[in-house]
Structure 1
Amino acid sequence: MKPIWILYVITIKNQNMFWKDHRMKRLIYIAAVAAIVLIAASWVGNLVYYHHSQLPKAIFLKHHIEEVRAPGYSFELFYLENKHEKRKLNRIIIPELPNAMITPMPERNRYTHQTMGSMMVQITDLDTSEEQTGGTEPLIIRTVQGYFSDGSMDNMDIGEIRLYTLPADNHENTIASNWSSASSDGTGLYNFLVLKKLQITGISTAYLNELGDSFSLLIDIGRKLPTGSGMPSYQSVAETPLNAAEYPISIHEGDEVSLKYHLNQPLIDASSGSADIYQLLIQLTFEPENGKSAVYSFMISQNWDLSERDVKRIVAAARGDGE
C-alpha cells in the first residue's frame, strides 16, 4: 500500500502545481493585457490632448491700432502658430500699403505647443503721397495676405488698423510738450504747456465707445502760481473726465495741461476667447486765439503679455472647443 499512497501524493502535488502554474500564467496574461490597454489608453489620451492643443492654422491676434500714416511711423502685428507646424508663416503683404517695409520676427515668445511671432510694419513715403492719402478719413486695414513655407497664401484677419493723415504740425508756437510718463498698470499722463490762449474743441479716439469703462482720461488744467526765482509751480484749477467734457474748454496762456489716462482693457475677451490688443492715437483738436484749428496727438499703448493659460483659451476658441 505504501507505493500506492506515495504515488497518490505525488499525483496530487503535480495537480496542485499544474493549477498554480496555470493560475500564474493566467494572472500574468491578464496583467499584460491590462498593461497594454493602459498604455493604449494613455497613448490615445495623449493623442487627443495633443490634437486639442493645436491651432487649426496660424492666426493673428485681434488688433485695434491707431497710427499716423506718415513715413517712419510703424505698427506691429502679432500672430500664433503651432510650434511643430510644418506650414510656417514666412511673410505678409498689405495691399493697402504695397510699399511698406515689413520685417518678420518669427519667435517673439514660446509656449508649450505654440510660438508667437510678429510682423513689424514700417510706413514709407511711397505710401503717403497726397494722391494716396487724399481726404481726412483714415485708411482702414482688416486683412493681410499671409505667405507660408509651403508656397500657399491665405487672407488673414488681423482686427483693425486705422491710419490717420494728420495736418502738418502747426502748434509749435501754441503748445509745447513738457513731459510724459507711463506705468505697467496701464496708467500714464501727457503734459504740455500752453504758450498762447486757446480753446480745446475735442479729444477723440476711434475706440472710446468700444473700450467703455476700460479706458478713462482726465483733463487737468494747472495754473501757474506767482513765485520768485526757480522752477515754476502750478495749481490745479479744473479736472474734467473725458466722458463729461463740454467743449470748448478755454485754456489761458501759461497754463499747464495734464492728460491723465488709465487703460485697463482685459487682454482675453471672456465671451469670444480672442486676444484684443489696443494702441490708441489720442487726437486733441484746439483753436488758438486768432489762429487756425490744429491737432496735438499722442499714443497710448496697452501693456500686455500672453500667459500659457491665455494661449490655451485662444486655441480653444479657434478650434470651437470652448475653454
Structure 2
Amino acid sequence: MQQVAQRPPATECWLQGIWASIPTPFHDDGRLDEAAVRHNAVHFSDALGLAGVFCNGVMGEGWSLTVEERKDVVRLTLSASQGRLKVAPVVTAGSLRDSISLAQHAETAGAHHIVLAPPPGLYDEAELLRYIDRIAKSVSLPIMLLEATSGGFGARFLERAAAECDSISGIKIGSGNRTALDFHNSFGDSLTITDPIEENWLSNLQHGLMQTLYADPEPYLFQSGKRRPIEEYFQAHQSGLEERASAISAELSGLRALYSRTIIGPMQGGKNPVPALKTWCEFTDLIVGPPRLPLKRLDDGAQEDIGRRISSLHKETGIT
C-alpha cells in the first residue's frame, strides 16, 4: 500500500466506544414513523448505552428516504437522546447540492461527524476526490468514508484518498478484517480505521488495534436492556481480565452464526439485508415497522424460523 502523505498525527480519541448502524422505522403505509425514531433513540442511548449511531445507510434504507426524511431522522434522533447519543448520518445523495445540504444540516443539528459513500454515477478517482473535497469545505465536521465490496468506495481508491486527502478523519472497512488490518497498518497513525464486525472486535482490542466498534447492527441485536454482553467483554478487557472477556465473547457464537447466515451472508451475495434485519428487530425492544417498497417483509415461514432461533439464543445468553 502507498503510505499516507504528511499531515498532523491523529488518534482514535475523536471516535470511541460502541456504535451501531441503525434501521429506519416506517408505518405500514410507508410513512416515516417519527415516534418510533424517538423511541429507538432512547433505547440506543439509555437501555443499550451506545456511544453513537450511524444512520441513513444501507441498514437504514437511506436510498429510500427523501432528503427531508433523512434530515428528520437526524433531528429526531438527536432531540430524543438529548445529548446522550452521538449521531453520524450518511450524507451521500443523488446530487452534490443535496449532499452539501445534508452535511450542513447535520452540522447545524449537532451531529458528531458525517459519512460519505460513493455518489451514484460513474466517476474516476480524481472526480471522487473533488466530490469529497467539496463536501468537506462546506462543513467543519469530521468525515468518515465507507469501504465495502458493494455500496462503498473501493480499497484502491481509498488508499489514494488516505494518502492525498487531508479532509477525511477515518475509514470504515466493510470488506473484511484482513483489509481493515492492512489499512490500519498503513494509515492508522493518521486516520481512524474501523472494522465493523463485532466478531473481530475482541481480537482487535487484544492486539491493540481498532479500539472502536463502528458500526454494524450487532450492538442492538446481541444486547438488551437486561444484558449487554458486548459491553461486558469490552469492560473486562479494559480491566485486564482477558479470560473473562474471551468467555463472554464466546457466549455470542450462536447469535453470530445466525447473523452471518441471515444478514451478512445474503448481503455479501447481493441480497438486501433489511427484511431480515427488521425481522430480528421484532425480537428486540426496537420499533421498526416494515421495509419500504420495493422491499417487503420476509415470508411468514422465514420470519417464524428466524424468530424461533433468536428467541432461543437470547434466552441462552440471558439477553431476554
Greater strand content: 1
Greater helix content: 2
State TM-score, norm by structure 1: 0.24
Higher relative contact order (CA 8 A, sep 6+): 2
Larger radius of gyration: 1
